[in-house]
Each structure stands twice: as C-alpha cells, then as structure tokens.
Structure 1
Amino acid sequence: MRSHHKGKIKSSAGDHVFQILNYTFFILFTLICVYPFYYLFINTISDNSLVNAGKIMFYPKGIHFRNYIDVMKLENLGTAAFNSVARTVLGTALSSIVCSYLAYFFTKQNLWMRKLWYRFTVATMYFSAGLIPTYLNLRMLGFMNNFLVYIIPGMISVYNMVLIKTYIESLPAELEESAEIDGAGYIRRFVSIVLPLSVPIIATVSLFTAVSQWNSFMDCLLYITKPQLYTLQYILQMYFRQAQQLAQQLEMGGDSAFQATPKGIQMTITMVITIPIICVYPFVQRYFVKGIMVGAIKG
C-alpha cells in the first residue's frame, strides 16, 4: 500500500540552492538599502571629533544626543515644523480628493468631448510655462507670502490622476450601475462606492504627494519672505549651508566640553528632515504594491 503525503511537494537540490541564493540576495539588498540611514544615525549620536575624522562606520562611539538637542533649539524651528506638517497634511488631503474626483470624472463615457479634455489635461505633464511665467502668474493671483501657495498650485497632479483613473476603470461597473438604478447621483456613487474601493491607489498617490510636500522648499524660496511662513525644509537647508558658522555658534553658546562640528550638524539636520516621512511609510506600505500594480495595468 502506497503512502500519500497530501499537500507536500518534494523540493529538489536545485530548489534549495535557488532559495538560499534568493534569500541571500534579498538580505544583502536590504542591508544595502538600510545601511545609509543607519550610518547617518550612528554618526549623529557619536562623538563629533570621531565623526569628523571618519572613524564611525558600523557602530556608534561616545554616544550622546547633544546634536539633536542643539538643532531643536534653532530659531523659528517650531513654527517652521508646524508649517511643514500643515502643508503636508492639508496639501495631501486636498490633492488626493481633487485628483480622485477628476479621475472619476474622466471615467464617464457620456462626458461631452471626454477624450479631448483628457488629452488636454495629460498634455500639461509634458508642457509648462516655465519658472518666470509661473512666478508672475502666482504673484498676480496674490499668492506671494500666502500659505495657500503651498497648497493650491500643486493641488492637481496629472500623473496621480491617471493612476487613479486607471484603477477606477478596473473596478466592476455593475457596482456603480446598481447604485445608479437606485437613484444615486455621481457624487453619491463617488463617495459611497468608488472612494472606499479605491483606498489602495489613493493611499499610494497620497504617499507620493506627502513626500513631495514634505521635501519641497523651492516654493518657500521663491514666494515667501515672511519668516513666520518658512517651512522646516527651507529653514534646515539654510542652516545646512551655514553649518560652519552654526557649529561655532552652538559651541560658543553651549557646553564648552561639547565640540559641535559642521559634519555633525549637517547629518543631524538630514535625520531631522528624513525621520518623519520614514515613520509615515509603514502605515501605507501595505497599500503601496497593490495600488501601483493595479494602477499600471492599463494605459
């Protein structure tokens, strides 16, 4: 009588070798991706003289957190951080809603001249007026020294809209048709059916938008002159360029036993900018792959 091992597939020697090589490759690849952040972090908490000499490679030495304490004391940092968080949250939320509804708008086959409007919108991805006309236009519209300059100009991303449109077109049409039969209008169908089903792709484009909003400082450089409207990235990149003078000021105003260095200050500023957006990523990562893959099925 033969014994049957249900659900078990015997692996060959080649399969075992492939699995070992596969796991080894991805472990090494992960280490290569993680190491720059780890290297940056251990240099921010190590003795600044050792960091300046390039002696910190794999583990911290002379651990301290004085660099972070000093950076947090920089002038206008709290207000700038609030502005960056506010623009990221408001800009991401508004852009996601507007891009989602615009994408839904372009999926309606009965829209008058739908193809023309869609192609006209997509064409803006390839052509722009340029920096000077954009500056003059925003100044004429009253966006100079206005917090809304962080939100309104980047409210619509055509790339994100195309991704969401493709995702919506992959949803079963019967769901929306049944709601239409029950008397639901476009907005009701969009809010009650399309939005809940489009969470993966919306989370994906929201991540793109949030990263872009958080990292942006050119709009602050071009359109803002009031210090109370400066963003964290603008403040820190300004301090980043002035690291030598800043290190001297921190050393003179602080503990004489602590030696601040430009390299230590620059690395700490980089970590302060990077950590918040890294903390956001794990919450949307589970939607990321599904959303971007489905959104890329059709053109």
Structure 2
Amino acid sequence: MSEIEKNEVTPGERVFRVFNILFFVLFALICLYPFYYLFINTISSNTLSADGQINWWPKQIHWSNYSAVLGLDGLSTAAMISVARTVLGTALTVGASAFLGFMFTQPNLWHRAFWYRFIVVTMYFNAGIIPAFITMKNLGLTNTFWVYILPGIVAPFNIILVKTFIESIPRSLQEAAEIDGAGIVTIFWKIILPSCTPILATVAIFSAVGQWNSFQDTLIYITDQKLYSLQYLLYQYINQAASLASAVKNSTGGNLNISQLASQQTPTSIRMTVSIIVILPIMFIYPMFQRYFIKGIFLGAVKG
C-alpha cells in the first residue's frame, strides 16, 4: 500500500469531522449566548429590554446604563477591595500551595504523612458557619480586610494538585542540586518553582476566580460598608434593583440629556449592567491562562 493511500481520508471520516466541528461550534455558541444576551440588553432600549423584546440584536443602542451604574455610590471602593483581595489572595495562595506541595514531597519532612492527612481531612469536614464566625471574631478578623485573605491561603485541593505535579518532576534534579550543596529553599526557588508554571497558573485561576466571585464572606464577616466587595454589592443590587433604578434617575439630574437617558433605567437594566461589569475582568483574564490551565490540570491530576 502506497503512502498516499495510507493517508487518504475516507468519506466516513470526512462526514465525522464535519459533524464534529459543527457540534463543537454549536456548543460554543450555546455557551457564549448568555453573555451576548446580557450585553445586547445593556446597550439596547431599556423599555424594550424590560419587555423581553431583545433576544438576538440590539435595538436603539445607547451606553447610558454603564455610566449610570458606574456612578452608583460605593461601586469604585468595592471594585478596589475586590481587585486588592483577588491580587493579594491569589499571590499568597499560590505561594503557600507551591511551598507546601513541595514540602510534602520531601521524605525527611517531620511526620510528613500525618501533616498531609491533617490538611486533606479539612476538605471533608468543617465546623459550620457559626463556629467559623466565632473563630474569626476571636481572632479579630471580622470587619477587617484580612478576613478575605488569611482563611483561604492554605487550600488543600490546590496543595494536592501541586504535590502531584511535583512528584512527576524527575527526582534526580533535586538530588543533583543537593550534591552541589543547595538547601531546601534554593532547590524550591531555583529548580522546583520554575518547573511548576502550568500547575501554578491553574492554581492561580482557581484562586482568582474564587476570590473575585466571593460574596458570602462579606455577608457573614463584614458590616463596614467601606470593606464591601464588588460581588456583595452585586448581590445587593440584584435584590434592590427596583429602588436602585429610581436612585439612578434621581442621582443623574442637572444635565438634560443624561436625565433623559437615566429616566429609562429599569430593574432589568440595572441587574444586567452590573452583571456585565462584574464578569468582564474574569472573561478577559481567563483566556490568558487557558493553555497553562489545561496542561496543569492534566499533569497535576495524574501522576506519571
């Protein structure tokens, strides 16, 4: 059999490839449509949007919803809190997961098996909301920014991912460094850490999405409005969309054109606009880490 005949694609394979591509294109469109639907409703006539008449194409396009929502009280402060907790919380979680994952691969770690099981068991058991609140209060973390950061630094699932990934790295690299006189910190910083980019990017995505989307910790531990996160404000805005629509109308007076546009604000426009504002950062950041995410999940989940 010639090489051309071996590489020849049969009609059945062509049909399968066509249907395979069409299926995944359709699946991708189905996944993207909810975001598209939200967006076109935020830039269309608020009256038509509230009546459910905007489904495929925007109508009577305007951008007043975004200027009105961005002008709501407390939104800029909440955005800074969410950005700060996401950046700092992600950095500390990635660092702790990397170092602990590395240490749990070291045979000479004191009672390594005990400490590893001690951390893993916390994935299956927790004390509940009330004991957690009492603990945070006794530690002086309630109504402080650090209640967003400290409880999430040690994440058992992330540690397991990193540990499994490091176990796939040839042990000979560390042994060679030890022969040259390198210590644990040097080995971790100069050998292990540069080799863990895919799994650390994966952990960073998990942590960043979790920090950005979290609102329950604000609900439980925070009463100071200066420490409200963006997601918690979203939670409040969705529950109070009708009164916020009225507030937007009243707060944008003075300029005739803006007042005319603001008068069209509806609870639906408030909900959809705030949702878009909150999810946009993650939608832009996630594709940057996509290739590391896929590689890290595969290599961190299966040893070998």
TM-score (norm 1): 0.96
Counterpart CA distance in 1 for 2:128 and 2:269 is 37
Give the partner amino acid of 2:186: R
Compute the displacement of 1:119 (Å): 1.2
Residue 165, structure 1, aligned to residue 183, structure 2: no
Give the partner amino acid of 2:225: P
Compute the displacement of 1:77 (Å): 1.1
Residue 81, structure 1, aligned to residue 85, structure 2: no
Of 155-164 and 230-239, the range deviating more from structure 2:
230-239
Once the two structures are superposed, residues 111-161 of structure 1 have per-residue CA deviations (whole angstroms, 9 ceiling, x without a partner) of 232212211211110011111111111100110111111100111110011
Compute the displacement of 1:220 (Å): 1.2
The percent identity for this pair of structures is 51
Bigger helix share: 2
- Residue 125 of structure 1 corresponds to which residue in structure 2? 123
- Equivalent of 2:270, from 265, 268, 278? 265
- Residue 297 of structure 2 corresponds to which residue in structure 1? 292
Residue 70, structure 1, aligned to residue 71, structure 2: no
CA contact (8 A) 2:39 2:276 kept: yes
- Residue 136 of structure 1 corresponds to which residue in structure 2? 134
- Residue 154 of structure 1 corresponds to which residue in structure 2? 152
TM-score (norm 2): 0.94
Compute the displacement of 1:4 (Å): 5.9
Compute the displacement of 1:174 (Å): 1.1
Give the SS at the match of 2:7.
Answer: coil
- Residue 108 of structure 1 corresponds to which residue in structure 2? 106
CA contact (8 A) 2:72 2:248 kept: no
Counterpart CA distance in 2 for 1:189 and 1:48 is 59
Structure 1 unaligned spans of 5+: none
Compute the displacement of 1:249 (Å): 1.9
Give the SS at the match of 1:107.
Answer: coil
Residue 282, structure 1, aligned to residue 280, structure 2: no
Counterpart CA distance in 2 for 1:156 and 1:245 is 40
Give the partner amino acid of 2:77: T
Structure 2 unaligned spans of 5+: 253-258
Give the SS at the match of 1:46.
Answer: coil
Give the SS at the match of 1:298.
Answer: coil
Counterpart CA distance in 1 for 2:3 and 2:162 is 49
Compute the displacement of 1:236 (Å): 2.2
Residue 190, structure 1, aligned to residue 188, structure 2: yes
- Residue 203 of structure 2 corresponds to which residue in structure 1? 205
Compute the displacement of 1:99 (Å): 1.0
- Equivalent of 2:231, from 230, 233, 246? 233
Matches within 5 A, 1:33-72: 33-72=31-70
The 1:95/1:4 distance shift into structure 2, 3 A limit, reads closer
Counterpart CA distance in 2 for 1:4 and 1:227 is 71
Once the two structures are superposed, residues 184-239 of structure 1 have per-residue CA deviations (whole angstroms, 9 ceiling, x without a partner) of 11111001011110010000011000000001111111111222111111122212
- Equivalent of 2:175, from 177, 191, 196? 177
Compute the displacement of 1:9 (Å): 0.9
Give the partner amino acid of 2:183: G
Compute the displacement of 1:298 (Å): 3.4
Give the SS at the match of 1:60.
Answer: coil
Give the partner amino acid of 1:177: E
Compute the displacement of 1:3 (Å): 8.1
CA contact (8 A) 2:65 2:270 kept: yes
Compute the displacement of 1:256 (Å): 3.3
- Residue 256 of structure 1 corresponds to which residue in structure 2? 260
